Amino acid sequence: MRVAPRKAVRTRSRGKLLKIEQNIASLSAAYSKCRDAFDRLGAPPSISQRYKVLRKQDTQSSTAILDPNTVGASTLRLSWIWQMGDIDSAADPASVTREFERVHYLRGRAQKNRWSEEFMRVGYEMQWTTRFFLYQADLWRTRGAGAAKEGGLGPGPLAYAQRKTAMWKEMAVLADQGFWEVNPSYTKLCT
């Protein structure tokens, strides 16, 4: 589950996960009942070998295949469910495993592409944030200059505009320095 910005989104995500877990538990219970019925009816050993006892770890998802360079990924053994193949016993177990790996590869690649896009977008957002702070500093500097030209407003509005200009300029400098420290490709805007 990804980190969510609001409690409502987290709750919705948890609700979806709970539904999936309940569905898996329900289907697992149905499978176990059917398998027990096979045994009670005296099914041949070939059926018992094909439809094995379902354990909790057989229904757990594995994310290790997304990063094949992690420790232990070379010894990863998929659950027998993924190697069961089609109902037709002529199905090649290797093709079923390849399909599983292909789906996981495509999901992993999509996630990598999303992260690359997000990294690029965050770089632009860093620039936009600093530019906005500089724009606000310039806006308040212009307002202060206008207040000084009018003369009749007194020193209060001019002091307020100068304080706002300094505040926005300081925010721009802090943001610029912070972004430059965490992102080597960031181009500094404040000197």
Per-residue pLDDT of the chain (191 residues; tens, 9 = 90+): 556 566 666 677 788 888 888 998 898 899 889 888 888 888 888 887 788 888 887 777 666 655 666 666 556 666 777 666 554 555 566 776 787 788 888 888 888 999 999 989 999 999 999 999 999 999 999 988 887 787 666 788 888 999 999 999 999 999 999 999 998 889 999 87
* 135/27 Cα distance (integer angstroms): 59
Q: Provide the residue range defining the domain that includes 149.
A: 120-182
Tell whether 155 is covered by a domain.
yes
| DSSP count for the chain of H helices, then E strands | 4, 0
Establish if 34 belongs to a structural domain: yes
**What burial class does residue 133 get, using C-beta atoms within 10 Å of its C-beta: 0-12 exposed, 13-18 middle, 19+ buried?**
buried
Kindly state whether residue 84 falls inside one of the protein's structural domains.
Answer: no
| Domain end residue (candidates: 59, 79, 99) | 59
Report field, pTM of the whole predicted structure over 0.75: no
Q: What is the pLDDT of residue 93?
A: 66
